[in-house]
Structure 1
Amino acid sequence: MQARFHRRPRIILSGLSGGSGKTVATLGLLEIWRRKGYTVAPFKKGPDYIDTAWHSLSAGRPSHNLDTFLMQPADILWSLDAYSRSADVAVVEGNRGLYDGMDAEGTHSTAELAKLIQAPVVLVVNCTKATRTVAAFVLGCKMLDKGVNIGGVILNQVANIRQESVIRSSVEKETGVPILGAIPRIKGLPFSERHLGLLPPEEHPRAIDALERLHKAMLDNIDADAIWNLAASSPEFVVPSIVCAEPVAVSDVAPRIGVFRDSAFTFYYPENLEALERHGAELVEISGLRERTLPQVDALYIGGGFPETHAQELAENASFRASLRREIEEGLPVYAECGGLIYLGESVEFGGKTYPMAGVFPVNFSIGEKPQGHGYVVFETDGQNPFFSKGTVLRGHEFHYARVSGYRHEEVTTVFNVKRGYGFDSGRDGLVRKNVLASFCHIHALGEKNWARVMVDAASSYKTCAAGAGSRGEAL
């Protein structure tokens, strides 16, 4: 097979820490380039759903995640190439600080990703109450790992012209790194935050207007042409071939997999949905907020999101919850992550009120003020379940504020041994009932390549059993 080369311009926007302004700068750049007529492929380093949702809205195309913990290097290079092939440029937003990773060596950091994809880095620096010290920060980042190409700096939260002038002079003199933008303190940018970060665009009352205002604020403060030239300096790399890119034999009759997609359930990696379709599934979008009964499907995928902020609406839709329980009792395969697990519990307490949920698992949840699980996880499968064989080790991430406030231990079976992370309770996760598997873990299809195939196989088996029996059958 002839080697393919990736030659697209690409850039990474990183920072000194979380809260540096990376997302604002990234969205500003996406807005500027898109409005100039360029096709921009957005990416996010790390396991993030909300930033990617804003990227997607701004760029007019899906944003994809690049994560060196969840994926192998070959998967990342393939993904970058595949999802930017039809674009003019790729923009990658980093996470946390440039060198922040899982350990003192910065393993799985944005810097590690930058070296892997051979992309120049633009540092976004919050300049609040600082001048020449900014040069020290930039110089430190430049010298810590000379394999990282720091090609420019965007100053953020600049108080006035004098501060900008002093910082610009000191950074360029002491480091040789050019200043590619200076974003002033902007009052009233309409990007609200809550417990998991930015308010998702699906729930933002004026998301398009927010991006319009951001574009106007960024247009005169970012040197987009200089950043473009920096991105264009990226060297080519050989695109590896990976398993998920190979053709898959599919059945003539596609099983229907329902996907909960509304403002309550928005956390899905595009690659996961694409993998299900590639293995032959027909995806059917379902809303637990609007639909009165569950439509006929052969399996369900319930992702994460914010069921707690929609708890009253979900609770009021009693007919839908009842129909879901009936189908589960008849053996419907269901795979649920995080918010999906909460929805399948008995109740959720949020804002001082308790709301009934689907009642599949005898578990009560409450949403606190601090994260209960936050970070990468490693789970080992040690019990029977519909989707993963015993011994399977899953790598994923968890990020939630949900606490298990009570459950009937004798009625809850778990099949995941938590090797890293918090999980459901007492070092366990992966709740199983009938053909349902639910956990706090979010997985990525490029990292867990068998998941989509097994999910579609379960749906196909259920479809076949139902057709043979003339009705929905027993658990598989």
Structure 2
Amino acid sequence: MTDPVDTRTCPALLIAAAASGQGKTTLTAGLARAARKLGQRVAVFKTGPDYLDPAILAAAANTPVEPLDLWMAGPDYCAQRLYEAAGEADLILVEGAMGLYDGMPSSADFAAAFGLPVALVLDCKGMAQTAGALAAGLSQARADLSFAGLVANGVGSQRHTDLIAEALPVDMPLLANLARDSAMALPHRHLGLVSPAEQGEAIEIALETTAERVLKSDLLTAARPVSFEARPAAVPGRWLARRRIGIARDAAFSFAYASNERLLEAMGATLEYFSPLTDRALPAVDALWLPGGYPELHAEQLAANTAMHEALHVFHAAGRPILAECGGMLYVQQTLTELDGRWHRMVGLIAGAGRMRDRGGCQGMQTAPLPEGDIRAHAHHRSATDHGAVPIAHGRRQRHSAPGEAIVRDRGLTATYLHLFFGSNPAAIAQLFGAEAMASAS
């Protein structure tokens, strides 16, 4: 006889779209803020790897927002986080990534895996009845999805709204029509949305405006009760007990998943934060993590803080562990060149020259085959780098045979464009940050 499955039930909704740029983040943020205004406790997630959208959603929900990915984190991890949220929230919102069926796994895969009803967002500027055909096609593409309805974004008038509503399938109600309004717009730059901290009052205006539109619609009633199953992960060993890890955190380095930090603490590490922009010395730590971010926007200030450069050289020369991801890797190389051709001297722990480019770049899932073990990861950058050092390995792309991102190692430093998901291999991460005597650790 099997043990009963431990489940929790909570109203939930996944917000998806036909493509990127349709208004998913704006709408999800507006939903979260509207729920808060009604006194509801809301938990918000984002499918796929992302640092920028979750920051907007967190500002709306006033609670941390975590990305969930079926490949990078695994279905059990995602299920457990949803289960935990169902025990704390009155409403669970999940923002999809790209178009509904884009990617492997896609937002549709995520919705199907956990039985989430889908609210479909469609930018209807320049179309009317065609919106009905698109909604019908998307809703009928898979039999294992349940649709709550359509949100028509960018409508121009009541007549425009009526034409859209009349063309929708009978099982695809019009949940809301959002008129064109610049006050709801969220500004973008390369890599994605501008962080809330940089938007000042504009972000609050956008969130409040969208929330008021949501409250006048049927959107909040579109969420349906969903049962989420508990799938607790094995408790990691205290492999990092008594180790202090310094994490770069400021306007130039902010792309760090909270789940990664939680795992380091669960393994016993004490976390210390510092700013390569303004601090002149490192905290007293045993290892460093330089995550990604926007060093290119602060290259001049990073270059001018030579005291931090010297501190990093001393730390590196001692052979202590350093993980430098994406923007962190650009920082520890020799130079970084902006789009206008101006170049800045970086720390110079390893040979290499980074440069920004106005198009192209790389994104997608890869596995980092480190000596410590395979770690799932992703890439997302608009820069290129000329490595002066021979890589120890290249990332393995999820669905392509071409070599992925280079991985460089020098003494205790590991540098790569890849953003690592620590939970995919806690033991390897512990070794990367200098864990000792793991075999005997509790």
The two structures have a TM-score, normalised by structure 2, of 0.92
1:62 to 1:430, Cα distance in 2 relative to 1, 3 A: same
CA RMSD of aligned residues (A): 2.3
Residue 397 of structure 1 deviates from its aligned partner by 0.9
Query: Which of 229, 234, 238 is the equivalent residue of 2:229?
Result: 238
Residue 407 of structure 1 deviates from its aligned partner by 4.3
Which structure 1 segments of 5+ residues have no match? 102-106, 382-387, 462-476
1:187 to 1:417, Cα distance in 2 relative to 1, 3 A: closer
1:2 to 1:229, Cα distance in 2 relative to 1, 3 A: same
Query: Which of 72, 97, 102 is the equivalent residue of 1:70?
Result: 72
Residue 153 of structure 1 deviates from its aligned partner by 1.0
Residue number in structure 2 paired with 1:214: 207
Residue 238 of structure 1 deviates from its aligned partner by 2.3
Residue number in structure 1 paired with 2:23: 21
User: Does the CA contact (< 8 Å) of 1:377 and 1:395 recur in 2?
Assistant: yes
Query: Which of 420, 430, 433 is the equivalent residue of 1:453?
Result: 430
Query: Which of 366, 382, 385 is the equivalent residue of 1:377?
Result: 366
Map 1:31-46 onto structure 2 (within 5 A).
31-46=33-48
Query: Which of 335, 356, 373 is the equivalent residue of 2:323?
Result: 335
Map 1:274-423 onto structure 2 (within 5 A).
274-350=262-338, 351-381=340-370, 388-389=371-372, 392-404=373-385, 406-408=386-388, 412-420=389-397
Answer yes or no: is 1:430 the counterpart of 2:399. no
User: Does the CA contact (< 8 Å) of 1:255 and 1:281 recur in 2?
Assistant: yes
For 2:425 and 2:360, the matched residues in 1 are separated by: 25
**Deviation digits for residues 30-57 of structure 1, max 9, x if unmatched?**
1111122212111000011000111112
Which structure 2 segments of 5+ residues have no match? 438-442
Residue number in structure 2 paired with 1:444: 421
1:373 to 1:55, Cα distance in 2 relative to 1, 3 A: same
For 1:278 and 1:341, the matched residues in 2 are separated by: 26
Residue 448 of structure 1 deviates from its aligned partner by 3.0
Residue number in structure 1 paired with 2:177: 182
Answer yes or no: is 1:163 the counterpart of 2:178. no
User: Does the CA contact (< 8 Å) of 1:183 and 1:222 recur in 2?
Assistant: no
1:426 to 1:452, Cα distance in 2 relative to 1, 3 A: closer
User: Does the CA contact (< 8 Å) of 1:46 and 1:95 recur in 2?
Assistant: yes
Residue number in structure 2 paired with 1:200: 195
1:301 to 1:27, Cα distance in 2 relative to 1, 3 A: same
**Deviation digits for residues 407-456 of structure 1, max 9, x if unmatched?**
43xxx142223332899x97561111110101111121232333443245
User: Does the CA contact (< 8 Å) of 2:281 and 2:311 recur in 1?
Assistant: yes
Map 1:115-154 onto structure 2 (within 5 A).
115-154=112-151
1:262 to 1:78, Cα distance in 2 relative to 1, 3 A: same
Structure 2 counterpart SS, 1:292: coil
For 2:310 and 2:185, the matched residues in 1 are separated by: 39
User: Does the CA contact (< 8 Å) of 2:366 and 2:404 recur in 1?
Assistant: no
For 1:157 and 1:298, the matched residues in 2 are separated by: 52
1:189 to 1:228, Cα distance in 2 relative to 1, 3 A: closer
Map 1:39-54 onto structure 2 (within 5 A).
39-54=41-56
Residue number in structure 2 paired with 1:259: 247
For 1:153 and 1:428, the matched residues in 2 are separated by: 39
For 2:111 and 2:15, the matched residues in 1 are separated by: 10
Name the % identity.
Answer: 27
User: Does the CA contact (< 8 Å) of 2:322 and 2:412 recur in 1?
Assistant: yes
User: Does the CA contact (< 8 Å) of 2:239 and 2:436 recur in 1?
Assistant: no
Residue 13 of structure 1 deviates from its aligned partner by 0.3
User: Does the CA contact (< 8 Å) of 2:184 and 2:210 recur in 1?
Assistant: no
